[in-house]
Amino acid sequence: MPSRTHQITLIPGDGIGPEVTSATVSILEAACTPLGCTFDWHTYNAGADAFAKTGEYIPKALYDSIEQNRVALKGPVGTPIGAGFSSINVALRKKFDLYANFRPVKTLPGLKTNYPNIDLIIFRENTEDLYAGLEVMINPDIAQSLKIITSNGSTRIAKAAFEYARKHGRKKIHAIHKANIMKLSDGLFLRCCRKVAEGYPEVTYAEHIVDNTCMQLVLNPYQYDIILTTNLYGDILSDLCSAFVGGLGLVPGANLGKECAIFEAVHGSAPDIAGQDKANPTAVLQSAILMLHHLNEPEAANKIHAALEKVYAAGTSLTRDVGGTVGTKAFAEAVIAAL
């Protein structure tokens, strides 16, 4: 097989980010090199760390690198709460118009959870809604955040979900909304979803209100196949759904646009366990597996996935968040040994 070198922008991130991304890189290199697939990592940071070093929260060199490479693997970046700089994650998604956030939630073999054999996918609109960051203090006692929903944004995320369902034989899509209260904004989202659904008669289309969805998910998550939703609800439901498969240490994500893609876990920077060799790198590793599929490296992707399944099925080298006893590094070594 001819050798291929992929140019990838790597953003280690904050908190547990450097630990989980470096574990992931070591597994990728161990798995891919024997297959003739190598990586040139273009490493840049963003957020508070980047600001201290470069005076910019997102250095221009990072933007340029993503623009050039079109693919990035990203660790979580912390965002100050209630004050300080705006989310780096939101800024990157908006800058590169990464409108589709794809988050597959699937149980790994061997892992004991209250909900066995989960297999659902969240398609979350990634560039608008309340995450547009349009906020203003009307006066010292009144704050206003604007919720922006467009037909373009709603239609393209609906198309992404239905196209995926068609291609991968998924049977059902639920649009999740709160159009009983936000009749105009969520109403527009629903109208766009319904219109797109008409073009995919083989996929069953349904709608649930977001609060009911939370209850339905906890009672019976198996009724959902693909969840199609707006930015904020998608963010919240992702964390809820991660609990079905062992928690935030497990669930990967892809931020997809027409030109670029950034692969990152659902979880944040987990400051409570940062720097302690406790973080589970599985979510970032599974994001890297999605990246390998995107790079048309299915053999490498399947090889790593098989090793990951082996480690979970054996159950002897798992991190503490899923009931194990080993650290981030030892877990990565176990995956490498299982390749």
Q: Which residues of the chain form contacts with ligand NAI (CB under 6 A)? A: 16, 20, 76-79, 89, 248-249, 264, 267-273, 279-280, 283, 321
| Residue with Cβ nearer ligand NAI (192 or 318) | 318
Q: How many residues does the chain have?
A: 339
Token representation of residue 213: 């969805």
174 beta partners? 206, 227
178 is catalytic: yes
Beta-bridge partners for 172? 204
Find the shortest distance in angstroms from Cβ 71 to ligand NAI.
17
The smaller minimum CB distance to ligand NAI, of residues 221 and 268, is found at: 268
Residue 292 Cβ vs ligand NAI, minimum distance, rounded to whole Å: 20
Nearer to ligand NAI, 33 or 86 (CB): 86
Query: How far apart are CB 165 and ligand NAI at their closest, in Å?
Result: 25
- 10 forms beta bridges with 43, 73
d(CA 208, CA 178): 8
* Dihedral class, residue 251 (left if φ above 0, else alpha if ψ from -120 to 50, else beta): beta
- Nearer to ligand NAI by Cβ, of 186 and 321: the residue is 321
List 221's β-bridge partners, or say none.
Answer: none
Which member of 63, 131, 233, 312 is catalytic?
131
Residue with the shortest CB distance to ligand NAI = 268
Nearer to ligand NAI, 78 or 153 (CB): 78
Q: What are phi and psi of 95, to 5 degrees?
A: -60, -45
Among 183, 195, 211, 258, the one annotated catalytic: 211
- 211 flagged as catalytic: yes
Nearer to ligand NAI among residue 254 and residue 270 (C-beta): 270
Q: How many CB atoms lie within 10 A of CB 115?
A: 16
Catalytic-labelled residue, pool 235, 303, 312, 321: 235
Shortest spacing between CB 252 and ligand NAI, in angstroms: 11
Cα angle, residue 118 at apex, residues 113 and 120 outer, rounded to 5°: 140
Residue closer to ligand NAI, measured from CB, 46 or 161: 46
What is the closest distance, in whole angstroms, from the C-beta atom of residue 315 to ligand NAI in the complex? 17
CA distance 310 to 335: 8
> Cβ of 325: how many Cβ atoms within 10 Å?
10
Q: What are phi and psi of 155, to 5 degrees?
A: -65, -40
Q: Single out the catalytic residue among 14, 44, 129, 178.
A: 178
Our answer to whether residue 131 is catalytic in this structure is: yes
Output the DSSP codes for 192-213.
HHHHHHHT-TTSEEEEEEHHHH
- Taking the complex as a whole, how short is the minimal distance between the CB of residue 332 and ligand NAI, in angstroms? 12
How many other C-beta atoms can be found within 10 angstroms of the C-beta atom of residue 33?
Answer: 13
Q: How far is the CB of 37 from ligand NAI (least distance, A)?
A: 25
Q: Burial of 142 by CB count in 10 Å (0-12 exposed, 13-18 middle, 19+ buried)? A: exposed
CB 247 within 8 A of CB 272: no
Which residues are identified as catalytic? 131, 178, 211, 235
